[in-house]
Amino acid sequence: SAVISQKPSRDICQRGTSLTIQCQVDSQVTMMFWYRQQPGQSLTLIATANQGSEATYESGFVIDKFPISRPNLTFSTLTVSNMSPEDSSIYLCSTQGKAGVEQETQYFGPGTRLLVL
């Protein structure tokens, strides 16, 4: 499976500020995704990070609030902008389309635990 790392692993932030989360993969992957997991809940897809073009956002998520970058095939960032306590969640990146692995198989990073005060 792909080795995926995320930074930071956790953070405590003040409302109104922004935090950028990084996701690094040890090999080139076709697709990268960002999910949110609110406390005790399931995973909800925020957006698909497209290499070289704008991210594709799911219903209920907008670029101004969650800008995403994907400068190459091994790296992506998610920014949580103008944070409020409701943004307190775990943010997870996942990857798909690693060479030698079934195309659909998705692996997750360790997550970033965000607490907004």
In the bound state with other proteins, the residue whose beta carbon lies nearer, of 67 and 111, is 111
Cα–Cα distance, 25 to 23 (Å, whole number):
7
- Please name every residue paired with 90 in a beta bridge, in sequence order, or none if there are none: 37, 113
Residue 110 lies near other proteins (rule: CB under 8 A): yes
**Which 8-state DSSP code applies to residue 82?**
S
Residues in the chain: 117
Among 38, 41, 72, 82, binds other proteins (CB under 8 A): 41
Name which of 56 and 84 has its Cβ closer to other proteins. Answer: 56
CB of 106: closest distance to other proteins in angstroms?
6
Rg (CA), the chain: 13
Tokens at residue 57, please? 């956002």
Instruction: Kindly indicate which of the ranges 18-26, 66-74, 77-85, 89-97 contains the residues binding other proteins, using the contact rule CB under 8 A.
Output: 89-97
The CB density around residue 112, as the number of other CB atoms within 10 Å, is: 22
79 binds other proteins (CB under 8 A): no
Contact between 45 and other proteins by CB under 8 A: the answer reads yes
Contact criterion met (CB below 8 Å) for 91 and 110 = no
Chain positions contacting other proteins, by CB under 8 A: 1, 31, 33, 41-45, 48, 56, 58-59, 92, 94, 96-97, 102-111
